[in-house]
């Protein structure tokens, strides 16, 4: 029997504390369902989070987890390419997907009238995909173009995330490039795609979260209706990704043909998730560089010494609470041409040493905590973001109720805690540094120049297959049960599309894709639907004898928008112009 448990904060919350209603149920096939009831708006947010990410992708297939995320929007035998986006948009909503080191997330928001069609679609692509060579080739090219736009042809591209991780970490799972090499992307085959879906996209390796205008009873019933018949699948053993803190400083210089100013990326290995030091490290990071103009490093480097023009930081792949393996706290400084890197590092060291020796005065510490708490509550307010946070916390911590415990974890951090983590983690021995220098500042024969690095970069060798490494295998047949008929989205009840929430800059190794508004299509007539589906070319779809479910009806949309090109520049002084470790794309 499925079990239901009510999650609540570990300690009694003060009168001004916001406690989310969170209920969790595990279905018989292993799918964990989280529901957060909130009737403040007739809308819902949905998140399907899978416990697979960049760390878990197969050796010799760097970038595969991100490539697979794209393929999840390329259709299934019962909902061909484009249907997912059209149903979402025609229902008044939108969708998104992102790939992280420890999980991959698919999220939607829409009026509550579109909830059932969207759940049908999520369950449909959990069962199987439309494994087509044309889709693989197309999305492979899309990913390559993302790499060109977001890394190869962008100032400071990749140095604060992929390059810094490669320098700081010793294990391949933590250090390799999540975007992937072009060679590895070219090697990806349909056999790899089928095996990856089989091994990592079963219900027992996923969390479904629904937040908004729905009761727990309704949410759990709908989850059983659309996901309950999907069979659990065997999953490969997870690779061992643990690493201790570094014991010697690591440092290198990289040239940049596009940068106009030099920059530094400095990373320190973080405390383990759930450890007593994690919350104190989050507070310390906010104090040093996360508080904008008020942060210690901004005041010291930009306002005080005037060595730098911009300072920013990042923790993990976004939220500092959402990682499940070795993770970096990173500070990025864009400094003036005449400022020596060692002088910038000395200024950073001085602020760390000040904290270690003096601690943090009570008013400053409280201000930092208040800023963190406000940001956390802001993140949980939009239903789509709330659903994603709850699903990720359930997937990584095994407890969505951590969302209600995080405010207490922040609140109980003391000055002594901040001093302890600064002295333990922000050390020279645990530090990795990349100097990104404009090519025009380097000698013509310097091996650090970007043109020399690209020329001398070795091609990836064929990797060995050590124990515990996930390697794509042969296709296994997995029976696909019939799905329930999906209700249509009633046009008369469709409210206006909710305004998108402001999204902060994302951080290390996060790869996003956003759905454009779909091109108008006429609603199909049930009477005109053919009884059989024409066969496709050899090797396209696996044969199945199960009856086909009815595809959700599509209402025509009034307008369409062309694909937007991600911006690669920001006004001077804007924090968004810092090197971004988030790469955006559109499917």
Give percent above pLDDT 70 in the chain.
Answer: 74
The answer, yes or no, to whether residue 472 has pLDDT greater than 70, is no
Specify whether 205 is located in the same domain as 167.
Answer: yes
Helices (H), 267-381: 278-285, 296-298, 341-358, 362-380
pLDDT bracket for residue 212 (50, 70, 90): very high
Same domain, 233 and 254: no
Structure tokens at 191: 């056999």
State how far the Cα of 257 lies from the Cα of 439, in Å rounded to an integer. Answer: 5
Q: Which residue has the tokens 């001004």?
A: 16
Total length of the chain: 587
Judge contact between 117 and 92, C-beta under 8 A: no
| Contact call for residues 301 and 311 (beta carbons, < 8 A) | yes
76-80, 440-444, 464-468: which has the minimum mean pLDDT?
A: 464-468
Q: Answer whether residue 391 is part of any domain.
A: no
> Which of 30-44, 315-329, 349-363 has the weakest average pLDDT?
315-329
> Is 36 inside a domain boundary?
yes
User: Which of the four pLDDT bands, split at 50, 70 and 90, describes residue 497?
Assistant: very low
**Whether the predicted pLDDT of 524 surpasses 60:** no
For residue 180, the SS3 value is coil
Strands 43-50 and 32-37: unpaired
Which tens digits make up the pLDDT trace of 370-415? 999 999 999 999 999 999 999 999 999 999 999 999 999 999 999 9
Give the confidence band of 17 by pLDDT, cuts at 50, 70, 90.
confident
Do 263 and 365 lie in one domain? The reply is yes
CB 87 within 8 A of CB 117: yes
209 and 134 in contact (C-beta within 8 Å)?
A: no
Quick one: pLDDT band at residue 11, thresholds 50, 70, 90?
A: very low
In a domain, residue 115? The reply is: yes
Query: What is the pLDDT at residue 292?
Result: 85
Output the pLDDT for position 317.
77
Q: Residue 308 is part of a domain; what is its CATH number?
A: 3.30.830.10
Q: Are residues 63 and 178 in the same domain?
A: yes
Contacts 24+ apart (CB under 8 A), 570-574: 572/309, 573/309, 573/310
- The pLDDT confidence band at residue 551, using thresholds 50, 70 and 90, is very low
Three-state SS at 49: strand
Please say whether the dihedral angle defined by the alpha carbons of residues 533, 537, 540 and 544, taken in this order, is positive or negative.
Answer: positive
Using CB atoms within 10 A of its CB, is residue 505 exposed (0-12), middle (13-18) or buried (19+)?
middle
Looking at the fold, whether 293 and 402 belong to one and the same domain comes out as yes
What gap in Å lies between CA 233 and CA 476, rounded to an integer? 10
* Residues in Cβ contact with 376 at an 8 Å cutoff, skipping those fewer than 6 apart: 406, 407, 410
Q: Residues 68, 196: one domain? A: yes
234 found inside a domain:
yes
Per-residue pLDDT, averaged over 53-79, amounts to 96
- Comparing C-alpha atoms, which of 334, 263, 437 is closest to residue 446? 437
| pLDDT surpasses 80 at 460 | no
Q: Are residues 174 and 30 in the same domain?
A: yes
Of 487 and 335, the one with more pLDDT: 335
Helix, strand and coil percent figures for the chain, each rounded to 5: 35, 15, 45
Mean pLDDT along residues 207-213: 98
Instruction: Give the pLDDT band (50/70/90) at residue 291.
Output: confident
pLDDT digits (tens, 9 = 90+) for 140-166: 999 999 999 999 999 999 999 999 999
Does residue 392 sit within a domain?
no
Q: Based on the fold, state whether residues 165 and 254 are members of the same structural domain.
A: no
Report which of 135, 10, 2 is spatially closest to residue 401, judged by C-alpha positions: 10
Q: What is the mean pLDDT of the chain?
A: 81
Lowest mean pLDDT among 340-354, 431-445, 453-467: 453-467
Q: Is the pLDDT of residue 328 over 50?
A: yes
Same domain membership, residue 96 and residue 210: yes
Report the alpha-carbon distance of residue 309 to residue 314 in Å, rounded: 17
Kindly tell me if the per-residue pLDDT of 522 is higher than 90: no
DSSP class of residue 307 equals -
The mean per-residue pLDDT over the stretch 213-241 comes to 97
Distance CA 577, CA 321 (A): 24
Q: Is residue 546 predicted with pLDDT exceeding 50? A: no
Helix, coil or strand: residue 112 = helix
Residues 6 or more apart whose CB falls under 8 angstroms from that of 34 comprise: 22, 23, 24, 207, 208, 209, 210, 387, 390, 391, 394, 400
Query: Worst-scoring range by mean pLDDT, 19-23, 173-177, 512-516?
Result: 512-516
pLDDT of residue 454: 58
Last residue of a domain, one of 410, 432, 456: 456
Range of the domain at 50: 19-239+471-524+533-586
Handedness of CA 508, 85, 386, 30 (dihedral sign): negative
Task: Output the 3-class SS for 405-455.
Answer: HHHHHHHCCCHHHHHHHHHHHCCCCCEEEEEEEEHHHCCCCCCCCHHHHHH
Among 418, 433, 456, the domain boundary falls at 456
Round to whole Å and give the CA distance between 322 and 274.
10
Q: What is the pLDDT of residue 316?
A: 78
Chain segment 89-132, per-residue pLDDT in tens: 998 999 999 999 999 999 999 999 999 999 999 999 999 999 99
Q: What values do phi and psi take at 428, rounded to 5? A: -65, -40
Q: If you average pLDDT over residues 341-347, what whole number do you get?
A: 98
As a whole number of angstroms, the distance between CA 279 and CA 109 comes to: 30
In this prediction, residue 539 has a pLDDT band, given cuts at 50, 70 and 90, of: very low
State the pLDDT confidence band at 453, using cuts at 50, 70 and 90.
low
Q: Is 518 within the bounds of a domain?
A: yes
More confident residue, 571 or 578: 578
Q: How many helices (H) and strands (E) does the chain have?
A: 17, 14
Residue 200 lies in a domain: yes
CB 166 within 8 Å of CB 111: no
Residue 434 sits at φ, ψ, to 5 deg, of -120, 125
Q: Are 141 and 560 in contact (CB under 8 A)?
A: no
DSSP letter for each residue of 501-553: PP-PPP-TTEEEEEPPPPPP-PPPPGGGS-SSPPP-STTSSPP--SPPPPPPP
Output the CA torsion 135→56→402→378 (10° steps): -40
- Please check the confidence at residue 83 and state whether its pLDDT lies above 90: yes
Q: Say yes or no: 360 and 413 in one domain.
A: yes
Burial category of 451 from C-beta neighbours within 10 Å (exposed 0-12, middle 13-18, buried 19 and up): exposed
Question: CA 389, CA 441: separation in Å to the nearest integer?
Answer: 43
Is there a domain that residue 393 lies in? no
CA distance 49 to 208: 6
| Whole-number pLDDT of residue 15 | 52
Dig out the tokens for 409 from the structure. 């974890």
Residues 232, 190 share a domain? yes
Domain co-membership, 212 together with 348: no
Q: How far apart are the first and last CA of the chain?
A: 39
User: pLDDT at position 451, please?
Assistant: 84
Q: Structurally, how many domains does the chain consist of?
A: 2
């Amino acid at each position: 029997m499925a079990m239901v448990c009510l999650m609540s904060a570990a300690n009694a919350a003060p009168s001004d504390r916001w406690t989310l209603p969170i209920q969790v149920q595990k279905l018989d096939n292993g799918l964990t369902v989280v529901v957060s009831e909130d009737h403040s708006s007739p809308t819902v947010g949905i998140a399907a989070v899978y416990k697979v990410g960049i760390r878990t992708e197969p050796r010799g297939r760097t970038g595969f987890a991100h490539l697979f995320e794209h393929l999840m929007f390329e259709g299934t035998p019962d909902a061909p390419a484009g249907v997912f986006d059209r149903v979402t948009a025609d229902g008044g909503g939108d969708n998104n997907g992102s790939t992280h080191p420890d999980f991959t997330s698919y999220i939607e928001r829409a009026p509550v009238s579109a909830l059932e069609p969207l759940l049908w679609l999520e369950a449909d692509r959990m069962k199987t995909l439309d494994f087509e060579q044309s889709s693989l080739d197309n999305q492979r090219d899309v990913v390559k173009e993302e790499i060109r736009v977001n890394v190869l042809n962008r100032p400071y591209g990749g140095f604060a995330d992929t390059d810094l991780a490669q320098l700081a970490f010793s294990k391949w799972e933590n250090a390799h490039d999540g975007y992937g090499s072009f060679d590895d992307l070219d090697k990806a085959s349909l056999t790899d795609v089928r095996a990856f879906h089989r091994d990592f996209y079963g219900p027992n390796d996923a969390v479904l979260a629904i937040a908004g205008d729905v009761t727990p009873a309704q949410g759990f019933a709908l989850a059983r209706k659309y996901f309950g018949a999907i069979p659990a699948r065997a999953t490969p053993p997870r690779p061992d990704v643990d690493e201790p803190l570094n014991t010697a400083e690591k440092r290198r210089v990289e040239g940049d043909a596009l940068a106009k100013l030099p920059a530094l990326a400095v990373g320190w290995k973080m405390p383990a998730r759930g450890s007593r030091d994690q919350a104190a490290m989050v507070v310390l990071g906010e104090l040093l560089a996360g508080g904008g103009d008020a942060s210690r490093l901004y005041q010291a480097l930009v306002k005080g010494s005037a060595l730098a023009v911009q300072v920013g930081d990042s923790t993990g792949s976004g939220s500092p609470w959402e990682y499940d393996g070795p993770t970096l706290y990173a500070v990025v400084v864009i400094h003036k041409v005449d400022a020596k890197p060692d002088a910038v590092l000395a200024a950073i060291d001085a602020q760390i040493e000040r904290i270690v020796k003096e601690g943090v005065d009570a008013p400053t510490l409280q201000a930092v905590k208040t800023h963190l708490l406000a940001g956390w509550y802001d993140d949980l307010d939009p239903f789509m973001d709330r659903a994603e946070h709850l699903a990720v916390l359930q997937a990584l911590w095994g407890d969505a109720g951590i969302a209600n415990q995080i405010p207490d974890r922040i609140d109980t951090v003391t000055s002594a805690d901040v001093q302890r983590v600064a002295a333990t983690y922000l050390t020279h021995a645990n530090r990795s540094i990349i100097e990104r220098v404009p090519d025009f500042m380097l000698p013509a024969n310097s091996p650090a120049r970007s043109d020399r690095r690209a020329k001398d970069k070795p091609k990836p060798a064929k990797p060995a297959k050590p124990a515990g490494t996930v390697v794509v295998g042969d296709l296994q047949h997995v029976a696909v049960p019939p799905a329930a008929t999906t209700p249509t989205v009633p046009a008369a009840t469709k409210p206006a599309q909710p305004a998108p929430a402001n999204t902060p800059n994302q951080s290390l190794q996060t790869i996003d894709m956003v759905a454009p508004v779909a091109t108008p299509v006429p609603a199909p007539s049930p009477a005109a639907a053919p009884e059989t589906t024409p066969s496709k070319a050899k090797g396209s779809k696996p044969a199945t004898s199960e009856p086909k479910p009815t595809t959700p009806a599509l209402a025509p949309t009034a307008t369409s928008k062309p694909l937007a090109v991600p911006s690669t520049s920001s006004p001077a002084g804007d924090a968004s112009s810092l090197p971004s470790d988030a790469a955006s794309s559109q499917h």
